[in-house]
């Protein structure tokens, strides 16, 4: 029963996920520090998702490299895909973190006015 309480609190602090349309609407209408913080939290969560995807592809890369039944061109294609997607995900995580920081700064600037 104690773990159930932890699950409930974790659900309450779970970051919001927006559709592209909802995000664009929120960005266009954001005027308050709280609205910019919501956007920043969204981008922080996206950054964490991208980092998780990068890690997943790094693990897949290790699995493909360890597989005795995959060789030659097939292995190369899998390896290239995993390396490329892992790097893409890392790059997107950085960009998402940058957007989060920008919205955090906007929230501070709006608050000071």
Q: Cβ of 107: how many Cβ atoms within 10 Å?
A: 20
pTM of the model: 0.81
What pLDDT is attached to residue 13? 54
What pLDDT is attached to residue 40? 97
List of residues 6+ apart from 97 with CB closer than 8 A: 43, 44, 47
For residues 29 and 87, give the distance between their C-alpha atoms in angstroms, rounded to a whole number.
33
Structure tokens at 60: 């897949």
Render pLDDT for 34-90 as a digit per residue (tens, 0 to 9): 999 999 999 999 999 999 999 999 999 999 989 888 888 888 899 999 999 999 999
What pLDDT is attached to residue 9? 40
What H or E segment, with its residue span, contains residue 89? helix 72-112
Angle between helical axes of 20-29 and 33-66 (0-180°, round to 10): 150
Question: Which of 5-9, 29-33, 67-71 tops mean pLDDT?
Answer: 29-33
What pLDDT is attached to residue 46? 96
What pLDDT is attached to residue 51? 98
């Amino acid at each position: 029963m104690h773990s159930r309480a932890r699950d409930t609190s974790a659900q309450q602090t779970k970051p919001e996920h927006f559709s592209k349309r909802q995000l664009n609407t929120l960005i266009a209408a954001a005027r308050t520090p709280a609205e910019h913080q919501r956007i920043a939290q969204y981008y922080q969560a996206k950054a964490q998702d991208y980092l998780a995807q990068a890690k997943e592809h790094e693990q897949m890369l290790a699995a493909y490299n360890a597989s005795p039944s995959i060789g030659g061109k097939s292995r190369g294609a899998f390896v290239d895909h995993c390396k490329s997607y892992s790097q893409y995900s890392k790059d997107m995580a950085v960009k998402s973190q940058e957007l989060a920081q920008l919205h955090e700064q906007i929230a501070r600037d709006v608050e000071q006015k």
